[in-house]
Copies of this chain bind each other. A is one copy, B any other.
């Protein structure tokens, strides 16, 4: 009997990555395609399907999971994605299904990440947890009783767009004060740039605003720049405060932080945990862990998408 694998596909605005993954989370083969250079969703589906078919020789591929922006789990469509070229509603799961003739499931990248954490990462024995991805924005996947929360519309888990500071920073979503305007790579850059404009003294002031990346802020913080360190503290304070509210919603066993900012170690975890504990209902104090994701950054997007379909296939099996 040939080895059973699934395909994990992550659609990004710039690049799409995909691979074949076994039940233990080993990525057997992988590839990538520049999303932006393909004009239609059809051509992307064709290219990726062909590449996966090429990898599949000698294996049994049971299904495909897709992580994508603005993805609706319920109907398998990408709906009005801001950072993809395809307009309107694109029934991506159905398109892949037709091409690949295997079960296909679609959700957004943060929900896929949460499943990756549950199937392959640090949440293996957990039924209730929250997964936060700190990239350009802040994505979140909420798991309750072993199942991702999709909600009525299929898009649930948007903690990045809860209000962290009423009337605060303008957000890309058109509102003000959203968590992701403070807590994300973009958020910490805005913090530093605001502080430089306000006259704070930092070694980062020598760079043009557009060249101040989250990584550069991290490096300057390590080099002892006090303002860069404070920017992490400020970011962690807001994150900790909002996560304390998140606990009141779904009472997770742990909260996992993933992505660029989450790699800053104590710089971000220390203030986050401090303000998290200070703002938690007493009932929860000292009981809810804030942990670094157990997913390797390198293949995380592919693993998340692969976990989505492994999880789905196992649920379908239980039902039959």
Residues of chain B with a CB closer than 8 A to A288's CB: 152
Top 7 closest A-B pairs, CB basis?
A151-B251, A156-B251, A152-B253, A162-B245, A158-B248, A128-B152, A162-B248
Most chain B C-beta atoms within 10 Å of own C-beta, residue among A154, A165, A175: A175
Are A155 and B250 in contact, with the CB atoms below 8 A? no
Are A287 and B153 in contact, with the CB atoms below 8 A? yes
Are B142 and A250 in contact, with the CB atoms below 8 A? yes
Residues of chain B with a CB closer than 8 A to A128's CB: 151-152, 156
Residues of chain B with a CB closer than 8 A to A162's CB: 245, 248-249
Quote the shortest CB–CB distance from A118 to chain B (angstroms): 14
A145 at the interface (CB under 8 A from B): yes
Complex Cα–Cα for A127 and B55 (A): 40
Are B161 and A281 in contact, with the CB atoms below 8 A? yes
Q: Please encode chain A, from 178 to 196, with 1 for each CB lying within 8 Å of some chain B CB and 0 for all others.
A: 0000000000000000000
**How many copies of the shown chain assemble into the complex?**
2
Q: Please encode chain A, from 129 to 160, with 1 for each CB lying within 8 Å of some chain B CB and 0 for all others.
A: 10000000000001011010111111111110
Please pick, from B142, B154, B174, B245, the residue contacting A163 in the complex, using a CB distance under 8 A.
Answer: B245
13 extra interface residue pairs, beta carbon distance < 8 Å, beyond A151-B252, A156-B249, A173-B282: A128-B151, A142-B250, A144-B144, A153-B284, A158-B248, A159-B248, A161-B281, A163-B279, A165-B166, A173-B281, A175-B279, A249-B249, A249-B250
Are A241 and B163 in contact, with the CB atoms below 8 A? yes
Residues of chain B with a CB closer than 8 A to A175's CB: 279, 281
Complex Cα–Cα for A14 and B128 (A): 34
A283 at the interface (CB under 8 A from B): yes
Task: Select from chain B the residue with minimum beta-carbon distance to A284.
Answer: B153
A246 at the interface (CB under 8 A from B): yes
Complex Cα–Cα for A142 and B250 (A): 8
Please pick, from B149, B173, B279, B283, the residue contacting A155 in the complex, using a CB distance under 8 A.
Answer: B283
Task: Select from chain B the residue with minimum beta-carbon distance to A245.
Answer: B162
Asked if A251 meets B155 with Cβ closer than 8 Å, knowing A166-B241, A175-B279, A281-B175, the reply is yes
Are A249 and B248 in contact, with the CB atoms below 8 A? no
